[in-house]
């Protein structure tokens, strides 16, 4: 019990003040603690140490800036009287240090999230509707997309980016009917593509409120091809239903944009080449499954916000 009583008495006799320090971590491993009195984004920070000296630190050499809580004994000039209490207070200081705010050298949070929404424009074969023998036309129409992204900064201006995106594009059945040699009625649903991607994002901060970014990703596409129902309008009035299984394929994503405070205006290009297994059914007759390759490329024009 004696050590605990001594601890309590020392904290009563020599109360602890709490104050905040800026902790600057350099890329070479050096650490500086003090008060940042000036910061110019993209250039340097000026830090003042507890002894009154100052130092200018180039931003390009900095890894991160952290705001710390620390504690010190309020009574000055009493080191000899404090004795073991000062040493104990230092141990307490090491235990109760807390990081209140973590940010990279450009002022961004080390973790951030983005929510984007906008148009999904099919490109290449995916949006083609010319038809023809051995065609890989997707007959996809303009649709819409929703994207969630998480960013995890690991260096100044660089971050890991993990995203989940869903795009919905309706099938152009009107054009399919017009291209058919038969008098048919075609009905269908929509393509639903889910993109789960990860990669690297680079951001260049032009001003404290304005920055440009670009990113490259790779990952998995889960694509749902719509079932297609075809019915002859004339005798023998046959109906055929084409069913397609869900496809899983590797995909890539390229993106870029501009950030204005919390507002984000971006562009994304997603691509993949999934294989689909399709089966035709007519009444009680089921055809032999066939595998077809239908490339998918989507251009997304997005707007959203970070949080």
Euclidean distance between CA atoms 69 and 22, whole angstroms: 9
pLDDT at 92: 52
pTM: 0.66
Q: pLDDT, tens digit, for every residue of 55-102?
A: 999 888 888 888 876 655 444 444 444 455 555 555 555 544 444 444
End-to-end CA distance of the chain: 49
Sign of the torsion formed by the C-alpha atoms of 258, 264, 265 and 267: positive
- Enumerate residues 6+ apart whose C-beta is below 8 A from 271: 251, 252, 253, 295, 296, 297, 298
Q: Is the pLDDT of residue 34 over 70?
A: yes
Q: Does domain 111-306 have CATH number 2.40.160.20?
A: yes
Q: What stretch(es) of the chain map to CATH 2.30.30.100?
A: 2-103
- Give yes or no for a contact between 170 and 139, defined as CB atoms under 8 angstroms apart: no
pLDDT at 247: 97
Euclidean distance between CA atoms 203 and 269, whole angstroms: 18
CATH ID of 2-103, from 3.30.465.10, 2.30.30.100, 2.30.40.10, 3.40.50.880: 2.30.30.100
The residues pairing with 66 across neighbouring beta strands, listed in sequence order, are 23, 102
Q: What stretch(es) of the chain map to CATH 2.40.160.20?
A: 111-306
């Amino acid at each position: 019990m004696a050590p605990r009583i001594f601890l309590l008495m020392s904290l009563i006799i020599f109360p602890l003040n709490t104050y905040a320090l800026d902790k600057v971590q350099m890329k070479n491993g050096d650490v500086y603690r003090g008060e940042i009195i000036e910061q110019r984004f993209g250039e340097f920070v000026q830090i003042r140490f507890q002894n009154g000296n100052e130092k200018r630190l180039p931003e390009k050499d900095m890894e991160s800036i952290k705001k710390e809580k620390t504690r010190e004994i309020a009574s000055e000039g009493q080191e000899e009287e404090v004795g073991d209490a000062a040493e104990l207070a230092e141990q307490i200081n090491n235990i109760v240090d807390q990081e209140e705010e973590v940010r990279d050298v450009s002022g961004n949070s080390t973790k951030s999230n983005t929510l984007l929404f906008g148009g999904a424009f099919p490109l290449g074969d995916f949006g083609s509707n010319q038809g023809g023998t051995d065609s890989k036309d997707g007959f996809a129409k303009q649709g819409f997309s929703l994207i969630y992204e998480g960013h995890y900064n690991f260096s100044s201006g660089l971050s890991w980016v993990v995203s989940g995106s869903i795009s919905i594009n309706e099938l152009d059945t009107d054009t399919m009917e017009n291209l058919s040699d038969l008098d048919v009625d075609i009905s269908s649903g929509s393509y639903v593509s889910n993109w789960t991607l990860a990669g690297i994002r680079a951001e260049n901060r032009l001003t404290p409120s304005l920055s440009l970014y670009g990113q490259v990703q790779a990952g998995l596409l889960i694509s749902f091809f719509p079932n297609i129902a075809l019915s002859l309008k004339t005798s023998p009035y046959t109906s055929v239903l084409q069913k397609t299984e869900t496809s899983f394929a590797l995909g890539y994503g390229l993106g870029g944009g501009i950030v204005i405070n919390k507002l984000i205006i971006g562009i994304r290009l997603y691509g993949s080449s999934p294989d689909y297994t399709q089966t035709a059914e007519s009444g009680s007759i089921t055809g032999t499954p066939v595998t077809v390759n239908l490339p998918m490329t989507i251009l997304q024009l997005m707007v959203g916000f970070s949080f």
